[in-house]
Amino acid sequence: MLRRLEDMAADDYQVVISGAVLPGRDRGDAVKGLADLFKITAVKAERLLVGRPTRIDTLFSREKAEHACARLSSIGIDCSVQPAEPELQLEPGPEPEPPPPVRRAATAVVADPPGKVIRCPKCGREQAEGVECNACGIVFSKVAAARADTVDAGVQAAMRRKQPFPFLLVERLLGLVFLVFVLLAVVSYQNKDDLPPESFYDHGLLHDPVQTKTRLQRFQTEANGIVYTIDPLYDYELNGVVVSHYVSGSLGDIYHHDKWKDFINIKDICVIWGRNAASGVYKDMEFDNSPWICWAYWPNREVGSRFAGHQLSNNHLLANDPHVNKAIMEAEPGDQVYFKGVLASYSHSNEQFKRGTSTTRTDTGNGACETVFVTDFQIRKKANTGWRALFGWSKIGIAVSLLAFAVVFFLSPVRRRVH
């Protein structure tokens, strides 16, 4: 029987996935087996194998934990059995003492003594208290009201002189502007990578890649202080539509820069061409890229039967020219692109690191990606330019409105209400 962590006993154990594939086992098979075992998508299974340990929350007896670990090992997943980790229990603290009762001071109204003598504010004559002056005839209550109005007007004028800038109003306006930019950023982010309809593209250019024997000999190039050896195999040209991409060294990528010291493979792009682009079948599908794999998903067999697997490729783009690098990094999903170079294998550090390339469009699995040293890269049609521009301006607007709000907030004086 499965138990939760809060019901944990001393003899409970958990299975810990190390995040690695066992030596000699195929990573693709391990990802598929893990997805089938846990009933999760291949993308989520891939995220469990990025080198970080993951502890499964379910508690087992030691025998059942070893059995579960054996099942994972059988599909190529490195794992171990460890004692369950207890959750921290907080000791209840003493209840706070109630605050002392508020004591209010009583205000006594003292009546004026009878026969009070007053001085007229206009003529100065002393006389017994009454409604109007016996000498000049002014009404005392009207004079008092006029003086009160004069005092209130003076207080308000003083407040205006002390705080000429409407800080509170500006803060509220900046808060509203910030929320508007956040909303625009969310909407534009959701639309900026949508794939346009097939009518958007120039299908006369979207033919099969051109691959010919190369005359280029082995050469070396340096990036980030590392010398790479390039072994050209074929000259290669490709026209295609970018359906997904992966930037090397991006957040969460522990392989290219940290593990492999690979600074020349700057980006992977997954592209389609031919019937896949002309039929519009890609609009009914989803695409995604992990560090070395392009994933294509279709909702049913009918859509899958319309998709030609040999007219899709995942391309590891090697480049060491500033202009080529810039063009590659500007390519995004939905763009129609053209690039040429050589299909090549490459290595560094006396071949302690080495990657090869596919030379055919019909292979699948590990090693089926094209590794291309790019000498020319062009974006022939840029998709979703409006949404992408709006997303960029929205990010700037969020930063500027936040900065302006912080400046106004810290410069504004302490505001007091006048009653």
CA–CA dist 313, 240 (Å, integer): 9
Residue 149's pLDDT is 64
- Residue 14: which pLDDT band, with cuts at 50, 70 and 90? confident
Residue 336: count of CB within 10 angstroms of its CB: 25
Find the range with the poorest average confidence among 53-62, 93-102, 222-231, 358-367: 93-102
Instruction: Tell me what pLDDT residue 39 has.
Output: 85
What's the whole-number mean pLDDT along residues 173-193?
95
The mean pLDDT value for 306-333 works out to 96
pLDDT tens digit sequence for 237-263: 999 999 999 999 888 888 888 888 999
Alpha-carbon torsion 38, 42, 47, 53, what sign?
positive
Helix residue ranges per DSSP H, 100-215: 140-162, 167-191
> How far is residue 300 from each of residues 77, 280, 311, measured CA to CA in Å?
29, 16, 19
Instruction: Give 93's pLDDT tier (boundaries 50, 70, 90).
Output: very low
- The confidence score (pLDDT) of residue 404 equals 93
pLDDT grade, residue 148 (50/70/90)?
Answer: low
pLDDT tens for 115-136 read 577 788 878 777 777 777 877 8
Evaluate whether 140 touches 127 at the Cβ level (below 8 Å): no
Q: Write the DSSP string, 320-333.
A: --HHHHHHHHH--T
Residue pair 381/331 in contact (Cβ under 8 Å)? The answer is no
Closest listed residue to residue 180, CA positions, set 28, 6, 400: 400
Strand partners, 296: 287
Q: State what percent of residues in the chain have pLDDT above 90.
A: 50
Residue 298's pLDDT band (cuts 50, 70, 90)? very high
